[in-house]
């Protein structure tokens, strides 16, 4: 193997890939599949934000209003609620 040359292939970077996609498929191709993802994510995010808001409103009466405890507990409870509604 002494003296044998090795050809290395350098993979193109993300900007090169973006350029090729835009040239071959056009800008609309970057958003292909976005609709179904939004349909799946939007209800979950709505449940999370509603639960977070309700918990925060109730916990503001228990702890110092808008304190770290209120935000952390509200976020944890909202995530728990979101996971249990699927």
Does the pLDDT at position 1 exceed 60?
no
Q: For residue 6, tell me if it sits in a domain.
A: no
Does the pLDDT at position 13 exceed 90?
yes
In this structure, the chain runs to a length of 86
Report pLDDT for 84: 75
Cβ contact 63:48 at 8 Å: no
Q: For residue 2, tell me if it sits in a domain.
A: no
Rounded Cα–Cα distance for residues 31 and 24 (Å): 14
Q: For residue 50, tell me if it sits in a domain.
A: yes
Q: For residue 59, tell me if it sits in a domain.
A: yes
pTM of the model: 0.57
The total number of structural domains in the chain stands at 1
Helix count (H) and strand count (E) of the chain? 3, 0
Q: For residue 23, tell me if it sits in a domain.
A: yes
In angstroms, how far is CA 37 from the centroid of its own chain?
Answer: 11
Condensed to tens digits (0 to 9), the pLDDT of residues 23-81 reads 999 999 999 999 998 898 898 899 899 999 999 999 999 999 999 999 999 999 988 87
Q: For residue 82, tell me if it sits in a domain.
A: no
Rounded Cα–Cα distance for residues 46 and 63 (Å): 25
Cβ contact 63:37 at 8 Å: no
Does the pLDDT at position 86 exceed 60?
no
Does the pLDDT at position 82 exceed 70?
no
Does the pLDDT at position 20 exceed 90?
yes
Cβ contact 66:60 at 8 Å: yes
Q: For residue 60, tell me if it sits in a domain.
A: yes
Report pLDDT for 24: 96
């Amino acid at each position: 193997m002494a003296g044998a040359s090795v050809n290395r292939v350098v993979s193109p970077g993300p900007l090169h890939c973006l350029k090729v996609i835009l040239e071959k498929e056009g800008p609309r191709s970057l958003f292909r599949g976005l609709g179904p993802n939004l349909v799946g994510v939007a209800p979950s995010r709505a449940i999370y934000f509603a639960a977070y808001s309700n918990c925060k409103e109730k916990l503001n009466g228990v702890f110092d209003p808008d304190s770290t405890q209120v935000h952390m507990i509200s976020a944890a409870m909202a995530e728990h609620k979101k996971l249990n509604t699927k």
